[in-house]
Amino acid sequence: MAGDGPCHNPWPRACVAASLSCAWRARALPADPPFGLPIAGVTMTNDVVAPPTVALIGAPTDVGAGARGASMGPEALRVAGLHTALAHHGVVVEDWGNLSGPANPWQPAVDGYRHLDEVVQWNRAVHRAVGAALAQGRLPILLGGDHCLAVGSISAVAQHCRARGQKLRVLWLDAHADFNTSALTPSGNLHGMPLACLCGFGPAALVHLGGQGPAVQPQQVRQIGIRSVDAGEKRFVHEQGLEVYDMRYIDEMGMRHTMEQALAGVDADTHLHVSFDVDFLDPEIAPGVGTTVPGGPTYREAQLCMEMIADTGRLGSLDIVELNPALDVRNRTAQLAVDLVESLFGKSTLMREHQVRRRG
């Protein structure tokens, strides 16, 4: 045996195979480690390396959107190799298949909402599936579908955290604030309202989806990449005290400082939920979304964002939403999303030992 010291193998899976004669135990970490700088304000962990088991949960619907096509998102992500990409980094992947729900009736708004019944039904299914995944110790990845599904996903995550006395931090990566209400939104599309619903403002069936509501407090949320907010919505976001890192902030302060701020206070007891709306990205690199807004994060900025989240080792659940294959170019937006999700997981299990934790 090569000693009982701490394992410095940056590839933990290889370590399992070589555990009887592990050369990494005898080896010191290089003085200048090959990964990023420590993140100020974030408590890193030195727990045992254990790659997560993720559950892919497809929700093929666009009932909350203003354009059809996000219903094809789950399959496009699979075709782009999400499963293989994660497995390649030692993540155990279970594909739970697709949920089913009502078709998109494509009707105008009624009392300020389009397709409210259908949106509620889909979100109930998402809530149940995400809750089941968390209860089984899985890290749920919701494959949307449009962003209205975050109500089901995050309400389940919030319930899980409350039951375990864990802190919840939601990172909302998006071009839009998604903090509309029926009084504020001109369109009635519910994919513009999920965060407001989660914070207690919206139709009762969505606000109280998990039995109790509101699911989260605005103080638990950090919005990143925002660059398109309606006037009334802007006022409401300020009133509610949401912490917003818009593109102006990212331009002026840089992505590193932005993520340091957004992650500040994350510790060993924090469950990090990432709600990744693909329209967060600049449309130059990610054309396959229904609501493109120019001036989003570049490829490198997006990578750094994901890598710094990975560095915390606290990612507990993820939504990938609003990918619209009907508007994509040869599936390149799906491939980019997979690439970024790989960073969200890959770096955490591959490059760095100390931020990968035991999951219970």
Provide the binding-site residues for Mn ion, judged by CB under 5 A.
147, 174, 178, 277
Q: Do strands 167-173 and 53-59 pair parallel, antiparallel, or not at all (unpaired)?
A: unpaired
Backbone phi, psi, residue 238, to 5°: -65, -45
Instruction: Please say whether the beta carbons of 71 and 156 come within 8 A.
Output: no
Nearer to Mn ion, 91 or 215 (CB): 215
Q: At its nearest, how many Å lie between Mn ion and the CB of residue 107?
A: 21
Q: Is 147 annotated as a binding residue?
A: yes
Q: At its nearest, how many Å lie between Mn ion and the CB of residue 68?
A: 16
Nearer to Mn ion, 10 or 69 (CB): 69
Spatial distance between the Cα atoms of 89 and 16, rounded to a whole number of angstroms: 14
Q: Is 279 annotated as a binding residue?
A: yes
Spatial distance between the Cα atoms of 54 and 143, rounded to a whole number of angstroms: 12
Spatial distance between the Cα atoms of 146 and 114, rounded to a whole number of angstroms: 13
Q: Is 277 annotated as a binding residue?
A: yes
Nearer to Mn ion, 272 or 289 (CB): 289
From 5, 15, 2, 3, select the one nearest 350 (Cα to Cα): 15
Total residues found in the chain within this entry: 360
Which residues are identified as catalytic? 147, 174, 176, 178, 191, 277, 279, 322
Furthest CA-CA distance within the chain = 70
From 258, 55, 274, select the one nearest 147 (Cα to Cα): 274
Q: At its nearest, how many Å lie between Mn ion and the CB of residue 104?
A: 17
Strands (DSSP E) along 174-288, which ranges? 221-226, 243-246, 270-277
Q: At its nearest, how many Å lie between Mn ion and the CB of residue 125?
A: 19
Q: Is 176 annotated as a binding residue?
A: yes
Q: Is 4 annotated as a binding residue?
A: no
Cβ neighbours, 10 Å, residue 94: 14
Nearer to Mn ion, 229 or 308 (CB): 229
Per the annotation, binding residues for Mn(2+) are 147, 174, 176, 178, 277, 279
Per the annotation, binding residues are 147, 174, 176, 178, 277, 279
